[in-house]
Structure 1
Amino acid sequence: MTQHSPSLGERASRVRLLALDVDGVLTDGAVHYHSDGGETKVFDTQDGLGLRLALEHGIDIALITGRDSPMVARRASELGIAHLLQGRNDKHRALTELASRLGITLDECAYCGDDLPDLGAIQAAGLGLSVANAPEYVRVHADYVTERRGGQGAVRELCELLLEARGAWAGIVAGYRLPRQAAP
């Protein structure tokens, strides 16, 4: 992991809720329509593991999207994400309402988005986040912009950032390693 400014790490350590836009953040933003009326979205499995690890370490997750998609509902269910707000174009209002319902402040929220509907939420959150593929006029308002593109590990990068700020990441990695064998 790269080193970040103390203020970024301090703000990241206070995050209790990571809220994410879906199209362009959790996916690459492409929607493939099929002749039978269905559609396809692609989700990154490394992002999924990052979200599960964040949940296991006390960071609540929310998906806030302007679209209404059964695939997003399925992915949220598979990952154990309880807060799914679909059909919400005013992401700032959705984030504010969710934070209030959860009894937390916006300062304890991180929000990641990639386009204009996300701008208010990025600015209002205690930790405003964006992805590498967002337009410059969105990225300039974020406290942190991922190196990875949406749908290609950007969410995993954010989860690692938050877990590292909590001091949990090294232990998580160590938990997956095999014990070192003594030399014969």
Structure 2
Amino acid sequence: MNVETHPSLEAQLKQIKLLLLDVDGVLTDGAITYTDQGDEIKRFSVKDGLGLRLLMDAGIRVGIITGRKSQALTARCNNLGINLLYDGIKNKVTALETILDTTGFNASETAFAGDDLPDICVMARVGLAIAVADATDEVKQAAHLVTRKNGGGGAVREVCELILKTRGEWNDIINRFSR
């Protein structure tokens, strides 16, 4: 989607101070692998990770709201410096309200990226609802923005870059890496 041709989307992107993400199907491709010992394995994109670090370096908070718990997710959040981790959540709206109370941000300053039915309730309450390209049709219909890339395949990086570009910070980031 071309932000320049959608002024309301551009305005929403500029207001974002907090990006919240679902995990399975957004930060991952939605597949869950189990070892013979019953350990769960998740695969995360390093490009998504860099995008999240760049976003956090620009002063935007990042958090997770997910229905599943996993040690792999905890390790990934620790690696990236994400301390707003709400996993094993049955009611994502309650988690959203807790995060907003804790951070002091308004729902209008918050973006949430999801992919499946349990995410719709949060998407309806934030300023910018994002669906990944391979989200369910219902989630896409609830979204203000649908990514071009699939969950686990660069969708989060796409969102991070879009926010940073809209805020006018992308060229400075490129220049920093070009030296």
The SS at the match of 2:142 is: coil
- Measured after TM superposition, the shift of residue 89 of structure 1 is 2.5
The SS at the match of 2:151 is: coil
Is the 1:92–1:118 Cα contact (8 Å) retained in structure 2? Answer: no
Identity of matched residues, %: 44
CA RMSD of aligned residues (A): 1.2
Tell me which residue corresponds to 1:53. 54
- What is the alpha-carbon distance in structure 2 between the residues aligned to residue 174 and residue 89 of structure 1? 43
Is the 1:61–1:83 Cα contact (8 Å) retained in structure 2? Answer: yes
Task: List runs of 5+ in structure 1 lacking aligned partners.
Answer: 179-184
Tell me which residue corresponds to 2:65. 64
- What is the alpha-carbon distance in structure 2 between the residues aligned to residue 89 and residue 177 of structure 1? 44
Tell me which residue corresponds to 1:27. 28
Is the 2:111–2:130 Cα contact (8 Å) retained in structure 1? Answer: yes
Tell me which residue corresponds to 2:104. 103
Tell me which residue corresponds to 1:176. 177
The total of aligned residue pairs comes to 178
- What is the alpha-carbon distance in structure 2 between the residues aligned to residue 20 and residue 107 of structure 1? 16
The aligned amino acid for 1:51 is L
Worse-superposed segment, 6-15 or 50-59: 6-15
Task: List runs of 5+ in structure 2 lacking aligned partners.
Answer: none
The aligned amino acid for 1:138 is V
- What is the alpha-carbon distance in structure 2 between the residues aligned to residue 36 and residue 71 of structure 1? 15
- Measured after TM superposition, the shift of residue 79 of structure 1 is 0.3
> TM-score if structure 2 supplies the norm length?
0.96
- Measured after TM superposition, the shift of residue 176 of structure 1 is 1.5
The SS at the match of 1:121 is: helix
Please say if 1:137 is aligned against 2:141. no
Is the 1:131–1:147 Cα contact (8 Å) retained in structure 2? Answer: yes
- Measured after TM superposition, the shift of residue 92 of structure 1 is 2.0
- What is the alpha-carbon distance in structure 2 between the residues aligned to residue 13 and residue 47 of structure 1? 20
- What is the alpha-carbon distance in structure 2 between the residues aligned to residue 61 and residue 89 of structure 1? 20
Is the 1:89–1:117 Cα contact (8 Å) retained in structure 2? Answer: no
- What is the alpha-carbon distance in structure 1 between the residues aligned to residue 36 and residue 71 of structure 2? 17
Is the 2:133–2:147 Cα contact (8 Å) retained in structure 1? Answer: yes
> TM-score if structure 1 supplies the norm length?
0.93
- What is the alpha-carbon distance in structure 1 between the residues aligned to residue 2 and residue 161 of structure 2? 11
- What is the alpha-carbon distance in structure 1 between the residues aligned to residue 148 and residue 3 of structure 2? 13
Is the 2:3–2:9 Cα contact (8 Å) retained in structure 1? Answer: no
- What is the alpha-carbon distance in structure 2 between the residues aligned to residue 132 and residue 10 of structure 1? 22
- Measured after TM superposition, the shift of residue 100 of structure 1 is 1.4
- What is the alpha-carbon distance in structure 2 between the residues aligned to residue 3 and residue 85 of structure 1? 30
- Measured after TM superposition, the shift of residue 93 of structure 1 is 2.0
Larger Rg: 1
The aligned amino acid for 2:61 is D
- What is the alpha-carbon distance in structure 2 between the residues aligned to residue 43 and residue 176 of structure 1? 23
Tell me which residue corresponds to 2:86. 85
- Measured after TM superposition, the shift of residue 2 of structure 1 is 4.3
- Measured after TM superposition, the shift of residue 49 of structure 1 is 0.1
1:138-157 maps to which residues of 2 (within 5 A)?
138-157=139-158
